[in-house]
Chains A and B, each alone.
Chain A
Amino acid sequence: MPLQRKPYACIVLGMELGEKLEILAASARCDASFASSGSDRRPRSGGIGAGAPSGVCHSFSGDGRCISLLKVLYSNACRNDCAYCANRASSDIVRTSFSVDELVRLTLDFYRRNYIEGLFLSSGIFSDPDIVMERLIEVARVLRVEAGFGGYIHLKAIPGAGERLLRLAGLYADRLSINIELPTAASLVRLAPEKSGAEILGAMRAMGDAESEHTRDSRRIRHTPNFAPAGQSTQLIVGASPESDRTIILLASSLYRRYALRRVYYSAFMPVAPDPRLPAAAAPPLLREHRLYQCDWLLRFYGFKAEELVQEADGNFPTDVDPKVAWALAHRDFFPLDVNSAHLGELLRVPGIGLRGARRIVATRRQVSLGPAELGKLGIVMKKARWFLSAGGRPLCAPPEEQSLRLLLAEGPREVPGASKPGPGRTVESQMEFAFP
C-alpha cells in the first residue's frame, strides 16, 4: 500500500466521505477543464450511462463555470513542490485519498441523480508515477467493466507514467490530458523543478500516437476498441511566469498542430502561498485569460493563424479591443468585404460576424440579395460589422480613421482585477522555448 509505505505528508485515514470529498474537490478546482463533450459512447447492455457528444452543464458554480463532471483528485498527497500549486509538498494542508470503491460509488450515485455527466480524475503524485497512474486506471476500469458505466471519464495522465499505462488509460477514458502547466521549459524548471517539459510532451506524443493508431485500426478492424474518443487536452497557467501572450498562443497552436489536441485551457494564476519565485499578483489576470480564450477560438474555428494574431510590440493582446477587432484594425486593406460575394472564410474575419452569422449570410444570400436591413435580421452585430462590409459595391458605413474606429469598437472600461498588471519581466522574451520531440 503506497500511501502507508511512503508518506509524503500526514495522510488522514478513516476520514468521513463527505470530508474527503470537500478536500479532494477543493484540491482539484484549479483545473479549468470541465468539458464532457466529444464522446458518443453507447451504453453497455445492462449498464448505465452514455456519452453526450455536445456535453451537458448540470449546474454552475459560484464562479460561473459549468459543472459537468465530478472533478476530484484521487489523492492530494504529492511529493512535487510546484510553486503555483495548492497541493505542493510544502503546503500545510490536510492530506487524504479516496478509495477506488468510494469514487465509483460517488460517480454512480451522482450520475443517476443527473448531477454530472461523469468523472474527472486527477491526483497528486503520492508515489511512483506508475503506481499513481495505475490507481486512476483502476477507478476507470471498475466503472467501465464492473459497473457498466457508459458516462464520461476524463483521466489525467501522470507525468512520468509509462507509455503502456497511458495506452491502457485511453481504453477506459473518454479524454486524457496532461497539463503542460507553463509556457516554456525555463519557467517549468524554475517553478516546477520536479517536472520535465520533455516528459510532458513525450506523454502527449504517446497519447496522440495511440489515438492515431486506433483510428487507423478501426478503419480495418471492425471491433477495434475506442481510444480516448474525446481526444486529449492540456492546461497552461497564465501569469505565473513572464512569458507574453504571443509565446503562449504560439505554443498552443503548436500543440494543436503537432499532437492534435482538442483543447488547450488557460488558467489565470491565483497565488496560493507566498513564494519569491512568483509574481506578487493581487488578483488573477482574468482579462488576459479571456483574451487568450478568444484567440484560441479564432485559431480553432475561424481559420486564423497564431502568427497573425498578436500585433502589439510587447507581444500581448490589447486590453481595449478583442483580438479579432485588433486584427481587423491592423488589416484595413482587407476590408470592406462584399457581403453578397465574400466567401465563408473571409466573412469569419469580420468583427461582429460569428460562425452562425457567417453561415446564415451564405445560406440567405442564395435566396435574396443582402443589405444592411437583412444583415440585422440575421443576428449580425452591426455595431461592429458595418465598418467592414459593403453591399452592391458600396460600403455600409464610411469608415473613420483608425484611432476613431478603435474608440468606436473598444469594449469600454472594464474593471477586471489584475487584468492590466504586466507582472515582473512580462515583456522579456529571453525564455527558452520547449524543444518538441
Chain B
Amino acid sequence: MKASLSVEFESFLALALGEGAPDSPQVAPQGELFGPEPRSPGAQGCDLGFDPGGAVRELRAISPRLLDLVVKTWMSEEGLVDELRLVIQETRSRGSCFLEDYSNRAVRSLSSARARVDREIDRFTGLARFSPRRDGLYAAIIESDHNILSALMPRFALRFGATPYAIVDMGRLLAAERRAGRTSLREGEEVLSLLPGGGADEARDLWRRYFGIIGNPGRASPLLRRRLMPERYWKYLSEMGGGAEPGP
C-alpha cells in the first residue's frame, strides 16, 4: 500500500507550521485522510522531530475550521504556504475569529481556495460515475482540478455500504480502493488495475435514455447546463457522450 498522500500532506503541514519538511517519506497514513490505519513497521515519523498527528490535534483544538482550511489548502495544490503560515500564526495568537477577518488578504486567498476545493468535491460527489466490474468492484474515473481523492472516498462509503468500490484519479495517476471497511491507495501504473471494465451495461443504456427524455424541451437552455456542468466534466459522463475507459 502506498502512503504518498499522507506523506505529501504531512510535508505540507510541516511547511505550513514552519517546521521544515521531512527529508524522505517515511510516515504511514495517519487516519486523518483515510480512517485509522496502523503505522507500518519501522516507520519513525519525521526525523526532524515533527509530529504530524500532534500538529493535527493542535490545529483542531484551535479550531476545526483551521484544520479544514489547512487540509483544503493542501488539496487545492495552489501552494499558498506563506498565506497559510501567516493565518495559522495569527489564529494561534488572536483566536479562531481571525479566520473570519475577510479584510485580510491571506484569509481571503485561503477561503477562496477552500471554496474552489469544496465546489470540486461537491461536483465529483455527483459526477463520479461508477461501473461494475466482473470482480464485483464498482470503479469510477475522475480527472479533478484539485487533489480531492481523500475527501471523496468517505463520501461514497455510506453510499456503497459493504460493496467494494474504487476511484481512480487519472490526472494524478492516484487511486483509492475500499474493501471490507479498509481503504488502500495505489499510484502510478498500479491504478490501471482498478479501471472500470468496458462492455455492455444495461443500466448505463437505460440511464442514457432517461437523461435524454427528462429535460423539458419547452425550457431548453444548453447555456445554463454548460455553466452548471462545464464541458471539462463530460469526459466520463456516459449521458454526455463520454464513458468509462475499458479496463484490462
Residues of A within 8 A of B100 (CB): 360, 363-364, 366-367
Q: Which residue of A lies closest to B216 (CB)?
A: A63
Docked complex Cα distance between A111 and B220 (Å): 26
Docked complex Cα distance between A26 and B211 (Å): 10
Task: With A26-B213, A46-B161, A364-B100 as known contacts, state yes or no: A113 contacts B130, CB within 8 Å.
Answer: yes
Docked complex Cα distance between A331 and B50 (Å): 60
User: What distance in Å separates the Cβ of B102 from its nearest Cβ neighbour in chain A?
Assistant: 5
Say yes or no: B218 contacts A270, CB within 8 Å: yes
Residues of B within 8 A of A367 (CB): 97-98, 100-101, 103
Give the bracket for the number of chain A residues in contact with chain B: 35 or more
Instruction: Determine which residue in B97, B103, B128, B239 has the highest number of CB atoms from chain A within 10 A of its CB, and name it.
Output: B103
Docked complex Cα distance between A150 and B224 (Å): 31
Q: Which residue of B lies closest to A106 (CB)?
A: B206
Say yes or no: A61 contacts B163, CB within 8 Å: no
Docked complex Cα distance between A52 and B211 (Å): 22
Residues of A within 8 A of B240 (CB): 59
B221 within 8 Å of A by Cβ? Answer: yes
A58 within 8 Å of B by Cβ? Answer: yes
Residues of B within 8 A of A363 (CB): 97, 100-102
A-B CB contact pairs (8 Å), 21 listed: A17-B206, A22-B213, A26-B214, A49-B159, A56-B126, A59-B211, A61-B211, A61-B214, A62-B215, A63-B220, A67-B211, A67-B214, A70-B210, A268-B219, A270-B216, A270-B218, A284-B218, A363-B97, A363-B102, A364-B101, A366-B100
Docked complex Cα distance between A270 and B217 (Å): 10
Q: Which residue of B lies closest to A34 (CB)?
A: B214
A286 within 8 Å of B by Cβ? Answer: yes
Residues of B within 8 A of A26 (CB): 213-214
B122 within 8 Å of A by Cβ? Answer: yes
Task: With A59-B237, A64-B221, A368-B103 as known contacts, state yes or no: A25 contacts B214, CB within 8 Å.
Answer: yes
A57 within 8 Å of B by Cβ? Answer: yes
Say yes or no: A364 contacts B102, CB within 8 Å: yes
Say yes or no: A18 contacts B209, CB within 8 Å: yes
Instruction: Determine which residue in A62, A148, A150, A367 has the highest number of CB atoms from chain B within 10 A of its CB, and name it.
Output: A62
Chain A residues in contact with chain B, CB under 8 A? 17-18, 21-22, 25-26, 29-30, 42-43, 46-50, 52, 56-68, 70-71, 106, 109-115, 148, 150-151, 268, 270, 283-284, 286, 360, 363-364, 366-368, 370, 374, 377-378
Task: With A62-B217, A109-B203 as known contacts, state yes or no: A21 contacts B126, CB within 8 Å.
Answer: no
Q: What is the predominant secondary structure among interface residues of chain A facing chain B? A: loop
Docked complex Cα distance between A267 and B103 (Å): 41
Q: What is the predominant secondary structure among interface residues of chain B facing chain A? A: helix
User: What distance in Å separates the Cβ of A294 from its nearest Cβ neighbour in chain B?
Assistant: 16
Docked complex Cα distance between A401 and B237 (Å): 52
B204 within 8 Å of A by Cβ? Answer: yes
Chain B interface residue count, Cβ-Cβ cutoff 8 angstroms: 54
Q: Which residue of A lies closest to B138 (CB)?
A: A112
Docked complex Cα distance between A17 and B101 (Å): 56
Q: Which residue of B lies closest to A286 (CB)?
A: B219
User: What distance in Å separates the Cβ of B122 from its nearest Cβ neighbour in chain A?
Assistant: 7
Residues of B within 8 A of A65 (CB): 215-216
Task: With A22-B213, A286-B219, A378-B102 as known contacts, state yes or no: A113 contacts B207, CB within 8 Å.
Answer: yes
Docked complex Cα distance between A61 and B217 (Å): 10
Residues of A within 8 A of B129 (CB): 113-115
Task: With A115-B207, A367-B103 as known contacts, state yes or no: A64 contacts B224, CB within 8 Å.
Answer: yes
Residues of A within 8 A of B130 (CB): 112-114
Say yes or no: A58 contacts B126, CB within 8 Å: yes
Say yes or no: B218 contacts A48, CB within 8 Å: no
Say yes or no: A29 contacts B158, CB within 8 Å: no
Residues of B within 8 A of A42 (CB): 158
Q: Which residue of A lies closest to B158 (CB)?
A: A50
Residues of A within 8 A of B128 (CB): 114
Residues of B within 8 A of A150 (CB): 158
Q: Which residue of A lies closest to B240 (CB)?
A: A59
Residues of A within 8 A of B227 (CB): 64
Docked complex Cα distance between A67 and B224 (Å): 14
Say yes or no: A377 contacts B102, CB within 8 Å: yes
B44 within 8 Å of A by Cβ? Answer: no
Say yes or no: A366 contacts B97, CB within 8 Å: yes
User: What distance in Å separates the Cβ of B69 from its nearest Cβ neighbour in chain A?
Assistant: 15
Instruction: Determine which residue in B138, B215, B237 has the highest number of CB atoms from chain A within 10 A of its CB, and name it.
Output: B215
Residues of A within 8 A of B214 (CB): 25-26, 29, 61, 67, 71
